[in-house]
Amino acid sequence: MDHPAVVRLLEAHAIRPSAQRVAIAGYVLATAEHPSADQVWRRVKLEFPMVSRATAYNTLKLFVEKGLLRELVLAPGYAVYDPNTAPHHHFLDEDRGSIHDVPWSALTVDLVGDLPDLEVRNVSVVLRGRRRS
């Protein structure tokens, strides 16, 4: 995605396109790597050194709020970002530590028992295992 396209995309989501935000968006909206916030920060810093950690974290949270990104909370205190906001699941390769998308249609989830006091809005499934070579 080139620079003006990123700017238009941000503006279309009511996000003021500061230089830092454009730099962060330019990377994170195009990657298939499922990076953590820290990984985004370090990567963007290479080409745009004047981005602070706090800005990277704030910006990613903002993008999630505005629907540009999806946040995948793998564990309390460890989240990962995904520009694919269409519904899908995830596979976590426990050997390599890599994360892959799994089509939404690859599995179904059925609520069997009743969870009377829980109002479920969203179901996210994380498969863990290893990848056969």
Partner DNA sequence: ATATCTCTTAGACTGCGTCTAACTATCTAC
Partner DNA sequence: GTAGATAGTTAGACGCAGTCTAAGAGATAT
3-state secondary structure of 132: coil
Is residue 5 involved in binding its own copies (CB under 8 A)?
no
Partner from DNA, its own copies, none contacting 18, C-beta within 5 to 8 A by type: DNA
CB of 38 to DNA, least distance (A): 3
Q: How far apart are CA 128 and CA 103, in angstroms?
A: 15
Closer to its own copies by CB, 47 or 94: give it: 94
Residue 40: burial class (beta carbons within 10 Å; 0-12, 13-18, 19+): buried
In which element (H, E) is residue 60 found? helix 53-65
Is residue 66 involved in binding its own copies (CB under 8 A)?
no
Q: Which two tokens stand for residue 24?
A: 């962060």
3-state secondary structure of 7: helix
- Of 79, 72, 104, 75, nearest in space to 89 by CA: 104
Is residue 122 involved in binding its own copies (CB under 8 A)?
yes
Is residue 118 involved in binding its own copies (CB under 8 A)?
yes
Is residue 113 involved in binding its own copies (CB under 8 A)?
yes
Q: Which two tokens stand for residue 129?
A: 């295992």
Is residue 16 involved in binding DNA (CB under 7 A)?
yes
Closer to its own copies by CB, 49 or 77: give it: 77
User: Which residues here bind its own copies, judged by CB under 8 A?
Assistant: 73-78, 91-92, 94, 97, 99-100, 102-103, 105-113, 115-133
User: Which residues here bind DNA, judged by CB under 7 A?
Assistant: 15-16, 18-21, 36-39, 42, 50-55, 57-59, 77-80
